[in-house]
Amino acid sequence: MLIVGPAGSGKGTQSKKISQDLGIVAISTGDIFRVNIKEQTDLGREAQQYVDAGDLVPDSVTNRMVEDRLTWEDAANGFLLDGYPRNRTQVAALDEMLERLEVSLDVVLELTADREELIARLKKRAEIEGREDDADEAAIRRRLEIFESETAPMIAEYESRGLVQRVDGLGPVDEVNARIMEALKA
Ligand code: B4P
């Protein structure tokens, strides 16, 4: 399963809940980058400037990282990818990875929310968690722009494959989660 949506739409929040409910591992490319940046690994040093600016980390780096992560034992019984793929190049890479793993994609869950709500949520999180990319207005704008220019066309591609379930991400977390569970039943 994939979970997609603009920054602040609730991807990370909901993927943790879905992972618990369905007993499958949630893999967040954003979280992996943040851990590596904190620990200043080679990957973290490579990714930091892009994450802080709200740009996508280069596809070659991101694809390699996901390909490696999908070979871990905890992904053998199914997985949820949060924040990956984010553009068409990553879709093509993921298609190849899934083919090699002999896994087929069941659903692409798209969370939606209006721009004002997205910005309000990210600013609130900046106060609570102090993420650099939430604290910087230019980085927030950049993330939302990239969603429109690169990720939305990618979602359209999955839509043409009949895989997209769109869920309204507005409202309390538990309400959104209930909507997601309903959509997944369908
Ligand atoms: P991500 O970690 O994916 O960051 P995000 O888009 O902001 O989503 P996140 O999951 O953190 O937030 P959520 O909407 O759950 O990416 C960060 C950066 O990593 C990218 O900019 C890029 O540089 C890099 N990156 C990641 N993946 C990449 C890829 N595939 N290719 C290249 N680069 C990549 O939640 C936001 C806030 O809203 C939270 O504070 C939450 O508490 C709140 N919230 C959630 N649901 C709510 C609700 N219903 N009501 C109120 N608040 C809610």
What is the chain's pLDDT, residue by residue, as a tens digit (186 residues)?
999 999 999 999 999 999 999 999 999 999 999 999 999 999 999 999 999 999 999 999 999 999 999 999 999 999 999 999 999 999 999 999 999 999 999 999 999 999 999 999 999 999 999 888 999 999 999 999 999 999 999 999 999 999 999 999 999 999 999 999 999 997
pLDDT of amino acid 163: 98
- The per-residue pLDDT for 99 is 97
Which residue puts its alpha carbon closest to atom 8 of ligand 1?
7
Task: Give pLDDT, residue 132.
Answer: 87
CA distance 94 to 72: 16
DSSP state of 77: T
Superfamily of domain 2-185: P-loop containing nucleotide triphosphate hydrolases (3.40.50.300)
Q: Tell me how far apart the alpha carbons of residues 126 and 8 are, in angstroms, rounded to a whole number.
A: 11
Q: Answer for the pair 80, 24: CB distance below 8 angstroms, yes or no.
A: yes
Closest ligand 1 atom, residue 34 Cα: 19
Span from the CA of 52 to the centroid of ligand 1 (angstroms): 13
The residue with tokens 């650099």 is: 132
Residue with tokens 């002999």: 102
pLDDT value at residue 31 = 97
User: 68-93: per-residue pLDDT in tens?
Assistant: 999 999 999 999 999 999 999 999 99
Q: Structural domain boundaries of the chain?
A: 2-185
Whole-number pLDDT of residue 186: 79
Which residues' Cβ are closer than 6 Å to ligand 1?
Answer: 7-13, 28-30, 33, 50-51, 54-57, 62, 83-86, 90, 121, 125, 133, 143, 171-173, 176
- Under a CB-based contact definition with an 8 Å cutoff, are residues 35 and 141 in contact? no
> Annotated catalytic sites, by residue?
11, 86, 125, 131, 143
Q: State pTM to two decimals.
A: 0.94
Q: Say which DSSP state 108 is in.
A: E
Atom 19 of ligand 1, nearest CA residue: 30
For residue 6, CA distances in Å to 65, 76, 103, 122, 159 come to 21, 28, 26, 11, 16
Q: Which long-range contacts (CB under 8 A, 24 or more apart) does 151-160 make?
A: 151/4, 151/6, 151/86, 151/87, 153/88, 154/4, 154/85, 154/86, 154/87, 154/88, 154/90, 154/91, 155/4, 155/108, 155/110, 157/88, 157/91, 158/2, 158/91, 158/108
ipTM: 0.89
Residue numbers in the known binding site are 8-13, 29, 34, 55-57, 83-86, 90, 125, 131, 143, 171
